[in-house]
Amino acid sequence: MGTAYDAGVNFFDNAEVYAGGESERIMGAALKALKWRRDSYLVSSKVFWGGEKPTQKGLSRKHVFDACHAALARLNVDYLDLYFCHRPDPETPVEETVRAMDDLVRQGKVLYWGTSEWSAKQIAEACEIADRRNLAFPTMEQPQYNLYERHKVEVEFAPLYEKPGLGTTIWSPLASGLLTGKYENGIPDGSRLSLKGYEWLRARLETEEGRKRLDQSVRFARLAREHDFKASQLAIAWCLKNPRVSTVILGASRLEQLKENLGALDAYRRLDAELVRRVEEIFAK
């Protein structure tokens, strides 16, 4: 986190469901040890999966409040900069969730609230309720976005960018590692596809569509090398080039991996129209 912060990263994303809250506890301990000024960084949490009991999940008023207070305690902060509804909740009226988020904003416990993996229609409904009731609007969405997954960010959400002014904190810019170039010669030991619990992802790549994606990833990695980039750097830079992307969320398990991904900033500056065209050729549908 210190290396990321020193490189200019100021947004740290989290959620109650990550390692059952342990991720937030670890991040909170790091924030306490690093002693950064609170006005120099942003931290988020997401609410939906807090436990197995009926009152520990979903987007009911009770769970939204309980999860917020639990996240504040784990993260060692007085307020959350961003608070996301991690998934839509068909069992809770949208107005109940919007009102709960508005109350947290008014109480100063949350600065901005938003959604993750909601549809444009669901976000528009929340915005309509907020407008009609004079409540705080959802201002950001956290969708998956990469060279394979583009429709939501580029097409479905298009009407929401101007009004109400939706921002996006996109996740999986490397498509679960597929855009890192590590699978050029099969599945290496220690990669995500080799891990227990990811058999479903490995099986997906054994389909016709999966094999096509693997071929595209190999060609993409070769193109990146032509320009002295790592494939991961070019993939992240491509996401950054989209003006509708507010920020790209990186996940790193090693310091070297983080430093490599931060090299995407140089790739971003060098990503010209011709290189974008060649990338688009590889992933054309």
Mean pLDDT, contiguous 10-residue spans, the chain (285 residues): 97 98 98 98 98 97 98 98 98 98 98 98 98 98 97 97 95 93 72 70 78 92 96 98 97 93 95 96 89
Asked which of 124, 142, 160 is the last residue of a domain, the reply is: 142
Q: Which residue out of 5, 18, 148, 198 is catalytically annotated?
A: 18
pLDDT of residue 86: 98
Residue 166 in any domain: the answer is no
Q: Are residues 125 and 190 in the same domain?
A: no
pLDDT of residue 182: 81
Domain CATH for 58: 3.20.20.100
> Tokens 């969708």 correspond to what residue?
143
Q: In terms of C-beta distances under 8 Å and separation of at least 24 residues, what long-range contacts does 278-283 make, across chains too?
A: 278/223, 279/147, 279/220, 279/223, 279/234, 279/238, 282/216, 282/219, 282/220, 282/223, 283/147, 283/148, 283/216, 283/220
Tell me how crowded residue 197 is: count the other CB atoms within 10 A of its CB. Answer: 7
Residue 106 in any domain: the answer is yes
pLDDT of residue 185: 67
Residue 155 in any domain: the answer is no
Q: Are residues 218 and 117 in the same domain?
A: no
Q: Are residues 118 and 223 in the same domain?
A: no
Angle at 106 between CA 105 and CA 109, to 5 degrees: 50
Q: Coil, helix or strand for 165?
A: coil
| Known active-site residue 18 | yes
Q: Are residues 7 and 138 in the same domain?
A: yes
Write the CB contacts of 41 (distance below 8 Å, at least 6 apart in sequence). Answer: 5, 10, 11, 12
Residue 149 in any domain: the answer is no
**Residue 38 is part of which domain span?**
1-142
pLDDT of residue 36: 98
pLDDT of residue 192: 66
Judging by DSSP bridges, how do beta strands 80-85 and 110-115 pair with one another? parallel
pLDDT of residue 196: 75
Q: How far apart are CA 217 and CA 200, in angstroms?
A: 19
The two tokens of residue 69 are: 């207070």
Closest CA to 272 of 245, 247, 237, 244: 237
